[in-house]
Amino acid sequence: MRRKIVITFLFVGLAILSLIATHRALPYMKEDESYNSIFPRDKFLALIEQAPPDWMQAQIDEDFGQVFEITSEAVEETYRTLWDRIGPDICHYRVIDNKLYKYIPNRDEYTHHDTRFEKAFKTLLSHIQVPNLDFLLCPMDGIPEPYMPPGFYKSENQAPLLGNAKIKGTHPIILIPDKFSLSDKWLLTTQEILHLNPKIVWEDKANKAFWRGALTDTGLPDWVDADPSHSPRYQLTLLAKSFPQMIDAAITGEKGTPFRGATKEEHLQYKYLPALDGHMCTYPGYQWRLLSNCLTFKQSSDQIQWFYRAIHPYQHYIPIQNDLTDLIEKIEWAKKNDEAVQKIGAESQFFAKNNLLMEHNYLYLWLTFIQYGKLQIINFNKLKQNMDKDPNWHCIQYRNNMRFFKKWGNPKNYSELSVKK
């Protein structure tokens, strides 16, 4: 009898272990692996059925204007070159059969958590068919950031590089919506701004410019102590001291001072909101300022994001010099032309509501992938066979499964890897 009980428990235990293993093997996506729980699926799919805004296609055509074909050899070579220069700040992805794969050259770089971009890519793949793709992403603030050597992103056999922002005219950098504008952070921000807009009407706002931000525009990385005297953000705080009746501005998190941040609601108490570049374009700070019922003062710059060509001075924002030398003059002009600047604020809000919400950003990402796919000359069947033999390629569409099943190699550096062709 006891033997039967032991055998029964043994079989039950094996059955439970089998169920657990089967469950772990099932291709499912955990909630924190994507933005599916908050993704506006119906709105996005409705946009797919319509002709995209002219400005979207025009920007995509411009970015791909010097790209004639994309080969896996060019992508591999560009990745090798950039890995040697900037390491894990360059990412190599592939989409095959609507699943996302990532090349992880060093075991130390592995993480069980998806980046915001990876969550966004997986979200898109969950809702619409995307062509097979072999592409590179640079998740830095922009390309090239001011402290980077010129041409750091270029290789002899250059493949396109996807990025958040770039210096205008930089090729072949392909702009896509930034990681925040594709995330739950942007959805929550837009909901907050749209909720606050009718509560804080134009007539109740202070006739002053208001700004809070970090000192990220010195041209150097955050970890380097830099002279801020030529930083426009620092200059804005000096202007605030000289013209307190016109500007309220402060650096947040400055060394030796308490953190002086401000909520979105505090920003919306003022009529004028400057948008100043940091390491690169300020995002999503610029977008939510456009969405608010305030007037944006946009600093002139050669840095651009995917939507910049669609907005125009004195229609969606008031331009100011990069060094802010005309800011006081522009504020005085705005005060004298209150009705006109209120209309500019309304026009920018209308644009943002119809072009920069989450569903629009994913539309742009999808259109970019479609164009990228058209330019590829790649045998994906052969590529997939090679990936199956390479322990550094991982399907992260269901990253939870990868924890349990994937066997790892541990190369010391990229030069030790054998890239399968």
Give 238-296 as a DSSP string. Answer: HHHHH-TTTEEEEESS-TTS------HHHHTTEEEEEE--SSSS-TTHHHHHHHSSSEE
Residue type for 5, please? I
Tokens 């399907």 label which residue?
Answer: 395
CA 297 to chain centre: 23
ω into 284 cis (within 30 of 0): yes
Comparing C-alpha atoms, which of 217, 288, 297, 215 is closest to residue 256?
Answer: 215
Q: What is the pLDDT of residue 25?
A: 44
Give pLDDT tens digits for 293-315: 999 999 999 999 999 999 999 99
Locus of tokens 């805004």: 53
Query: Closest by alpha carbon to 360, among 48, 146, 11?
Result: 48
Q: Which helix (H) or strand (E) holds 91?
A: strand 91-96
Considering the chain, tell me which residue range(s) the CATH 3.40.50.2000 domain(s) occupy. 184-355
CATH architecture of the domain 184-355 equals 3-Layer(aba) Sandwich (3.40)
What distance in Å separates the CA atoms of residue 248 and residue 240, rounded to the nearest whole number?
6
Interatomic CA distance for residues 49 and 109, integer angstroms: 39
In this structure, what token pair is assigned to residue 189? Answer: 């921000």
- pLDDT at position 3 is 61
In angstroms, the CA 1 to CA 267 distance is 76
Give the separation between CA 303 and CA 222, rounded to whole angstroms.
Answer: 19
Per-residue pLDDT tens for 359-401? 999 999 999 999 999 999 999 999 999 999 999 999 999 876 5
Please, is 188 exposed, middle or buried when counting C-beta atoms within 10 Å of its C-beta (0-12, 13-18, 19+)? exposed
Q: If we measure between CA atoms, which residue out of 284, 211, 216 comes closest to residue 248?
A: 211
pLDDT value at residue 415: 35
Are 132 and 379 in contact by the 8 Å Cβ rule? The answer is no
Question: So what's the pLDDT on residue 119?
Answer: 97
Q: H-helix or E-strand containing 174?
A: strand 173-175
Distance CA 233, CA 230 (A): 9
Residue 26 DSSP symbol: S
Strand partners, 184: none
| Residue-by-residue pLDDT tens, the chain, 421 positions | 566 565 555 554 555 554 444 444 445 678 789 999 999 999 999 999 999 999 999 999 999 999 999 999 999 999 999 999 988 889 999 999 999 999 998 765 667 789 999 999 999 999 999 999 999 999 999 999 888 887 889 988 999 999 999 999 898 999 999 999 999 999 999 999 999 999 999 999 999 999 999 999 988 887 777 788 889 999 999 999 999 999 999 999 765 455 578 999 999 999 999 999 999 999 999 999 999 999 999 999 999 999 999 999 999 999 999 999 999 999 999 999 999 999 999 999 999 999 999 999 999 999 999 999 999 999 999 999 999 999 999 999 987 655 544 444 433 333 333 333 2
Task: Answer yes or no: are the C-beta atoms of 251 and 241 closer than 8 Å.
Answer: no
C-alpha span between 47 and 56 (Å, rounded)? 13
